[in-house]
């Protein structure tokens, strides 16, 4: 990949490390600026309010007392998602996704969707818990997913990982229709909600209902909450605020391929029959099976391949090509500050190095939802070799369509190296 353009990184917020004893992470409060799903800082205990490049002294929301205790050196759990209701300015409703202590013996945590409410217009008021809307038992500590976002239809969309571990097998990973591979929750749509994107109606405070037009409501083939399935760790997704309002999702690969998917109602995105567009083997994860099914034999759904596919760092087939530790889903740029990015999908890689903070940001030109897109690396002025020089852990977007990059220098939820940058043209 060649560098597409040279951009600048403008520092917006300086945040403490995700999960520190002080304010950790940065979640903008919706007003005339940030969108309702502008993003949450992963692995954070408190959600901190910020403006004009500074953090307010008082966290906007602190859920540490409801969470599992995080590991200081590396952890994928924590406060992973936050979405403000589209009518937050008048109703004060917001929703969070976090890792609660386990309910089942030998399990690691409980993926939890909770609703909070704050009095509208009350500066400094603390949101109060309304209800825990949904809990899903999570067997291992990784693959938690965690994005919350309201769609243009007013429904709340939630991503949950496959339960963790490796290969989508072992404790808490049920057998599915594909008997060649052990496991897996990604293909199962009856026993649990792991490895799925959910679509929920939260129009009534304190509860959710299943929308009648969700894909499995009328045919009974799967759980009613499920909108799409076949994911490994759908850590970050977003809605395009323009165009067809597509759902664009980054699904973290295992050893071979990282992927970006265009998510459609009822879609099966392949895991663990496939990793990316390639046939996956739970017995030999760094090899590619000669063949595998292209259709789910239980639902009749065709397995959907990604629109973008990138090498994982561990892929023995990549040679000298760029590899990623983990892909990080982003946003379609709809802002004004960088007009040459208009309509391009911006996403990232956590790091291109197994140990060092060497995150990367890409811009892709969307094509069809079934064809392969092309992407190019963004180079940043004032940075050594044009690199980000930090771990890329997430993206955000404001109401003007500008895009923000969330970064850190640490791998764990400690320290004070978290930074949020806004993309701009190089000066």
Beta strand segments in 16-143, E: 46-47, 50-51, 54-55, 61-62, 79-84, 93-100, 109-117, 128-138
pLDDT at residue number 343: 96
* Helix segments in 329-394, DSSP class H: none
pLDDT at residue number 124: 75
- CATH number of the domain that 304 lies in? 2.120.10.30
pLDDT at residue number 372: 86
Per residue in 376-390, pLDDT (tens digit) is 999 998 888 889 999
Query: Are 111 and 139 in contact, with CB atoms under 8 Å apart?
Result: no
Structural domain total, the chain: 1
Nearest in space to 23 (alpha carbons), one of 33, 15, 31: 15
State the number of CA atoms in the 13 A half-sphere of 209 facing the CB.
Answer: 7
Residues whose CB falls within 8 Å of the CB of residue 220, separated by 6 or more in sequence, listed in order: none
Which domain covers residue 391, as residue numbers? 3-425
Query: Are 107 and 174 in contact, with CB atoms under 8 Å apart?
Result: no
pLDDT at residue number 34: 37
Provide DSSP, 78-111: SEEEEEE-TTHHHH-EEEEEEEEPPSSTT--EEE
Helix (H, G, I), strand (E, B) or coil at 339: helix
Per residue in 318-375, pLDDT (tens digit) is 999 999 999 999 999 999 999 999 999 999 999 999 999 999 999 999 886 556 899 9
Q: What are the angstrom distances between the C-alpha of 97 and each of 63, 133, 174, 223, 313? A: 10, 10, 23, 20, 29
* Ranges of the chain whose pLDDT falls below 50: 1-2, 14-41
Nearest in space to 233 (alpha carbons), one of 278, 192, 272, 283: 272
In the numeric block, which tokens belong to residue 94? 């917001």
d(CA 225, CA 287) in angstroms, rounded, equals 34
Q: What are the angstrom distances between the C-alpha of 180 and each of 168, 189, 195, 295? A: 13, 18, 19, 14
Query: Are 17 and 70 in contact, with CB atoms under 8 Å apart?
Result: no
Residues whose CB falls within 8 Å of the CB of residue 34, separated by 6 or more in sequence, listed in order: 28, 396, 398, 399
pLDDT at residue number 24: 24
pLDDT at residue number 31: 32
pLDDT at residue number 37: 46
């Amino acid at each position: 990949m060649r560098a597409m353009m040279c951009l600048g990184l403008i520092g917006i917020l300086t945040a403490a490390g995700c999960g520190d004893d002080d304010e950790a992470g940065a979640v903008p409060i919706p007003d005339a600026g940030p969108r309702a799903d502008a993003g949450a800082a992963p692995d954070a205990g408190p959600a901190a309010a910020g403006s004009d490049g500074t953090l307010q002294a008082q966290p906007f929301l602190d859920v540490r007392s409801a969470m599992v205790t995080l590991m200081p050196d590396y952890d994928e759990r924590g406060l992973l998602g936050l979405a403000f209701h589209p009518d937050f300015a008048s109703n004060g409703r917001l929703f969070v996704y976090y890792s609660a202590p386990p309910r089942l013996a030998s399990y690691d945590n409980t993926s939890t969707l909770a609703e909070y409410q704050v009095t509208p217009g009350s500066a400094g008021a603390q949101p109060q818990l309304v209800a825990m809307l949904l809990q899903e038992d999570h067997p291992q500590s990784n693959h938690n997913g965690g994005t919350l976002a309201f769609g243009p239809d007013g429904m709340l969309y939630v991503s949950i990982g496959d339960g963790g571990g490796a290969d989508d097998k072992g404790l808490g990973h049920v057998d599915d229709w594909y008997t060649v591979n052990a496991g897996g929750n990604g293909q199962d749509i009856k026993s649990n909600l792991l490895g799925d994107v959910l679509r929920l109606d939260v129009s009534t405070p304190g509860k959710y209902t299943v929308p009648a037009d969700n894909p499995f409501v009328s045919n009974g083939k799967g759980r009613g909450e499920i909108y799409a399935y076949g994911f490994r760790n759908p850590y970050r997704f977003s809605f395009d605020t323009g165009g067809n309002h597509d759902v664009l999702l980054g699904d973290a690969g295992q050893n071979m391929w990282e992927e970006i998917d265009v998510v459609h109602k009822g879609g099966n995105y392949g895991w663990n029959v496939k990793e990316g567009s390639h046939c996956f083997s739970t017995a030999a994860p760094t090899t590619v099976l000669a063949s595998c099914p292209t259709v789910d034999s239980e639902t009749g759904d065709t397995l959907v391949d990604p629109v973008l596919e990138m090498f994982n760092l561990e892929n023995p087939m990549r040679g000298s090509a760029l590899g990623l530790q983990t892909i990080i889903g982003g946003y379609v740029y709809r802002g004004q500050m960088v007009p040459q990015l208009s309509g391009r999908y911006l996403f990232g890689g956590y790091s291109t190095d197994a140990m060092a903070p060497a995150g990367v940001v890409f811009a892709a030109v969307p094509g069809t939802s079934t064809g392969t897109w092309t992407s190019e690396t963004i180079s940043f002025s004032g940075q050594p070799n044009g690199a980000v020089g930090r771990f890329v852990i997430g993206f955000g977007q404001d109401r003007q369509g500008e895009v923000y990059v969330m970064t850190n220098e640490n791998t764990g939820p400690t320290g004070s190296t978290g930074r949020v940058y806004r993309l701009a043209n190089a000066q």
